[in-house]
């Protein structure tokens, strides 16, 4: 039996509306307003604002459709109060003061936004200075064109920091993971590859799309010159590609990438909404979680579109053009109600997921102590809320929470576990902290090798393999021992 790809399996199991909901779930709060505006433009039956209804009007309104034909089923679309108006909020207790306290939209320089993302790397003071030098070398279009060996000299003369090209490469690789995608590239080819890497990471579960992106990556990586000259036949021959449809999709994926990730000239980027998706406050030891509601307007079904059914009920139902009109109206009303419901379902899913994360990492959220983070993987939360792992992944991706200790991306709270000598599991983040401490305190004339670091961690009670030490060291942007050696 032929094995189906994930995308094919999903298409068989999910309706188009369910697929649209999955996409809606992935949208962060900062972009939700744009998504809602798009829907408002496309669907005249969807409006902003709160529906004000009087009971007598509703009764008359529903009664007027009791005799409608099965073809219309008007009451299925118009008689439910649930869709009359809906405000994006966490628990139904909306407070206007919360809106005024939310972070507001601001315009900042590209340099400022990149430096703001440095905080998630956990760099020491020296590494941060080097990273800021690299960011300062990025031009307004998003590229870094100054040679790395020249930046090595800049650091030595201007800040008295001794480094080398290898260390700069490691830090630049981390900066290239920042938003906007493609930032910090040294040429167009690298810029496109960075963006394709990001897209592959974001679409790991869609095998069909992932395959297209991998082909696109190979085209840029191995056939960039042919691509720029549009020698498509040569590319297909060189890569042994036979599926023209996949090839066309891959070329299309490349051409949709951003060749200038820095945005407009002058170093200013478009307005960025610095809005976390969740808000968590500690009220005398009680953690209160809410969903950020600033960017979500009240939505309702258009009253004028609803009243069109009333006009139809009183008219000649044999009029073909009128039937077509009413069919169109019905479709728009259905879509409007679905969208309002999808927004509500999105909220519920986000809150259920975040509530489970807060419950799982309760000790951390109380004190902000990184050592209190428990090992937690996507499956743990999926089991807790009885949802699919892919759903939890979509919630965790590109979303953040504001706490008393700062704003954290949700991915920050997920980590694998390492067993201790006592048989307990601790978060890999705790092990990384211990690893960082060991390297910070080492004799720089005789830096610790990965083998010695492994033994030192085992002496502290962590059952860890040398290859895991190497992996964590690389994730911390720490070079190997020979590159850490100082005279």
Task: Give 61-109 pLDDT, tens digit per residue.
Answer: 333 333 333 343 433 333 333 333 323 333 333 344 433 344 433 345 7
CA distance 9 to 433: 42
pLDDT band, residue 422 (cuts 50/70/90) = low
pTM score, two decimals?
Answer: 0.50
pLDDT exceeds 70 at position 248? yes
User: Per residue in 360-369, pLDDT tens?
Assistant: 999 899 988 8
pLDDT exceeds 90 at position 222? yes
Could you identify the residue written with the tokens 């009680």?
286
Q: Cα separations (Å) of 58 from 62, 212, 266?
A: 6, 52, 56
User: Per residue in 98-142, pLDDT tens?
Assistant: 333 444 333 457 787 888 888 778 888 899 999 999 998 998 888
Q: Cα separations (Å) of 342 from 36, 43, 79, 91, 279?
A: 11, 15, 18, 16, 22
Mean pLDDT of the chain: 77
Beta bridge partners of 109: 268
């Amino acid at each position: 039996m032929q094995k189906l790809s994930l995308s094919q399996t999903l298409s068989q199991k999910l309706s188009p509306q369910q697929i649209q909901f999955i996409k809606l779930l992935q949208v962060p709060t900062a972009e939700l307003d744009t998504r809602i505006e798009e829907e408002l433009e496309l669907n005249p039956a969807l409006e902003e604002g709160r529906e004000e209804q009087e009971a007598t009007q509703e009764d008359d309104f529903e009664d007027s459709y009791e005799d409608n034909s099965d073809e219309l089923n008007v009451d299925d679309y118009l008689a439910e109060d649930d869709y009359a108006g809906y405000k994006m909020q966490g628990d139904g207790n909306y407070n206007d003061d919360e809106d005024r306290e939310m972070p507001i939209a601001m315009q900042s320089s590209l340099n400022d936004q990149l430096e703001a993302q440095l905080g998630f790397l956990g760099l020491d003071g020296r590494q941060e200075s080097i990273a800021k030098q690299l960011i300062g070398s990025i031009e307004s279009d998003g590229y870094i064109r100054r040679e790395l060996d020249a930046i090595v000299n800049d650091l030595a003369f201007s800040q008295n920091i001794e480094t080398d090209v290898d260390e700069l490469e490691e830090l630049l690789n981390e900066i290239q993971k920042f938003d906007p995608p493609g930032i910090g590239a040294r040429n167009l080819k690298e810029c496109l590859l960075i963006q394709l890497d990001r897209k592959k990471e974001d679409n790991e579960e869609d095998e069909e799309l992932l395959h297209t992106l991998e082909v696109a990556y190979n085209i840029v990586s191995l056939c960039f010159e042919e691509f720029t000259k549009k020698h498509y036949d040569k590319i297909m021959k060189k890569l042994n590609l036979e599926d023209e449809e996949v090839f066309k999709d891959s070329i299309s994926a490349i051409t949709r990438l951003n060749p200038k990730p820095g945005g407009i000239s002058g170093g200013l980027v478009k307005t960025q909404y610095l809005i976390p998706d969740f808000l968590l406050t500690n009220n005398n030891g009680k953690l209160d979680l809410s969903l950020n509601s600033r960017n979500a307007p009240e939505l309702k079904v258009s009253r004028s579109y609803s009243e069109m059914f009333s006009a139809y009920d009183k008219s000649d139902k044999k009029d073909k053009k009128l039937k077509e009109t009413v069919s169109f109206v019905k479709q728009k009303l259905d879509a409007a109600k679905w969208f309002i419901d999808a927004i509500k379902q999105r909220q519920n899913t986000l809150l259920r997921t975040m509530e489970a994360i807060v419950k799982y990492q309760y000790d951390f959220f109380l004190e902000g102590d990184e050592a209190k983070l428990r090992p937690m993987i996507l499956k743990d939360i999926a089991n807790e809320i009885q949802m699919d792992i892919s759903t939890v992944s979509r919630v965790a991706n590109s979303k953040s929470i504001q706490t008393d200790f700062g704003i954290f991306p949700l991915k920050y709270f997920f980590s694998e576990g390492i067993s201790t000598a006592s048989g307990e599991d601790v978060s890999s983040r705790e092990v990384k902290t211990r690893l960082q401490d060991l390297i910070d305190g080492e004799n720089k004339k005789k830096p610790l090798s990965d083998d010695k670091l492994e033994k030192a961690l085992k002496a502290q009670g962590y059952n860890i393999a040398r290859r895991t030490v190497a992996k964590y060291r690389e994730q911390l942007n720490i070079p190997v021992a020979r590159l850490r050696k100082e005279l």
